[in-house]
Structure 1
Amino acid sequence: MSEPLKVAMPKGRIFEEAIELLRQADFALPSEFDDSRKLIIEAPEANMRFILAKPMDVPTYVEHGVADIGVAGKDTMMEEERDVYEVLDLNISECYMAVAGLPGYEKTDINPKVASKYPNLATQYFKEQGEQVEIIKLNGSIEIAPLVGLADRIVDIVSSGQTLKENGLVELEKMVSITSRLIVNPVSYRMKDTRIDDMVERLARVVEEDDA
């Protein structure tokens, strides 16, 4: 048997939805996926090895060839700009990027500050809007920034909007819709094209059926 196809996936909601897609595409995955805390999980019947990582790290694993394939949010892809192929929109974990702030916020010309986990994406967005702002990169709870005066606004992922509401913030501008994508290492695509194409085709059929 050939070596396992190595797949990098983020933990949490995206992982759960991606695994369900793979099962619908008839990939034989072990039941331990559902409750395992392992960071590397073997799926011998499918001849695959799964690497569980933080969402922002998945494109890094794929770009450097540690993983052949990965599942990453479009937000991460736009922020990281990694040297990988984006081959399929899996249409899972739907959400969107938005600008948020305190109710009644009004734009001023006095050194506006924006906090975000996505400094590159935020910088590009405000540049396109013709607004010059100072971007402050945060890794943790972005919502706290306007509450403590660190920033006037934030740029972050919005799913239900509940987190914003619970922290007294309101959505000011919707930026871009986000879904999770299947990404591939360029070298792996040349060396394992038959297996990767088969995986893409099987997943694409499931995605199309779910959208029908």
Structure 2
Amino acid sequence: MNKQLTIAMPKGRIFTEAVELLRNAGFELPPEFDDSRKLIIDVDEEDFRFILAKPMDVATYVEHGVADLGIAGKDVLLEEERDVYELLDLKISSCYLAVAGLPGTKINDVAPKIATKYPNIAAAYFREQGEQVEIIKLNGSIELAPMIGLADRIVDIVSTGRTLKENGLVEYETIAGVTSRLIVNPVSYRIKDERISELIKRLNEVIY
């Protein structure tokens, strides 16, 4: 039986911090791994295959079994609600989801508009607050929405808050903290349990 582990990861900050974590756990990842432009990278020494994907696609690959494991932000897991198991909080790439808007503005009483790339999270949050809102799905530059009158508020990821500040926006509420999680396909978890358990054990030793 093939015991190779296929791991889906997003490029960018999560990738960089996850690679460092794996190396700290004693896994041999070659130096050129960091700068590769390939979308699929085999690391024969560890019997790993890495799939480099868009952040929102990682959980989809794991759910459908083309990847055994994935490293995904909690924001993606909350938004996508995929059929995967969350194994471990890796405690990397910390940030949070927040409601933001122009300073000193009240949310519209009649059908307030919320712009976000997280429509499910935003809808659930405002529903919990007892507010009916209109969700406007955007894929980028969410900060523009209040500035051009498209929305009363935005729901977005905040890391340092610098982007909000530079665009004249302020935070109004925090929705949830976000870190990156190790997720697994339920079938892979059964048939490759020894390898996955060993990976979890080694990662647990270096997570603080």
TM-score by length of 2: 0.98
Cα distance in 2 between the residues matched to 1:90 and 1:132: 35
Calculate percent identity across the aligned residue pairs: 71
Are 2:104 and 1:104 equivalent residues in the alignment? yes
Structure 1 residue 42, shift from structure 2 partner: 1.0
Residue equivalent to 1:36: 36
Instruction: Say which SS state the counterpart of residue 46 (structure 1) adopts.
Output: coil
Residue 197 of structure 2 aligns to a residue whose secondary structure is helix
State the Cα distance separating 1:111 from its structure 2 match. 1.8
Q: How does 1:1-212 map to 2 (within 5 A)?
A: 2-207=2-207, 211=208
Q: CA deviation at 1:3?
A: 4.5
Q: What is the Cα-based RMSD across aligned positions, in Å?
A: 1.0
Residues of 2 paired with 1:186 and 1:204: CA distance? Answer: 20
Structure 1: which 5+ residue stretches go unaligned?
none
Cα-to-partner distance string for 1:7-47 (whole Å, 9 max, x where unaligned) = 00011000000010000010111111221111111111011
Q: Which moved more, 1:57-66 or 1:25-34?
A: 25-34
1:77-108 Cα deviation digits (max 9, x unpaired): 00000000000000000000000000111123
Q: Which amino acid aligns with 1:45?
A: E
- Tell me, what secondary structure is at the counterpart of 1:105? coil
**8 Å Cα contact 2:3-2:195 kept in structure 1:** no
Amino acid at match of 1:58: V
Shift of residue 63, structure 1, vs aligned partner: 0.3
- Rounded to whole Å, the distance in 1 between the matches of 2:104 and 2:33 is 46
- TM-score, scaled relative to structure 1: 0.96
Find the residue that maps to 1:98 and give its secondary structure: strand
State how far apart, in whole Å, the 1-side matches of 2:175 and 2:152 are.
17
> Per the alignment, in what secondary structure is the counterpart of residue 45 of structure 1?
coil
CA–CA distance in structure 2, aligned partners of residues 58 and 133 of structure 1: 29
Structure 1 residue 2 displacement after superposition: 4.1
**Secondary structure of the structure 1 residue equivalent to 2:205:** helix
- What is the identity, as a one-letter code, of the residue corresponding to 2:47? N
Q: Helix, strand or coil for the counterpart of 2:100?
A: strand
Structure 2: distance between partners of 1:36 and 1:193: 29
CA distance in 2, matches of 1:134, 1:31: 47
Q: What letter is aligned with 1:24?
A: N
Across the two proteins, how many residue pairs are aligned to each other?
208
Deviations 1:23-78 (A, max 9, x none): 00101111112211111111110110000000000000000000000000000000
Residue type of the partner of 1:192? K
- The answer to whether the 8 Å contact 2:41/2:50 transfers is yes
Displaced runs of 4+ in structure 1, greater than 6 A? none
For residues 43 and 141 of structure 1, the distance between their equivalents in structure 2, rounded to whole angstroms, comes to 36
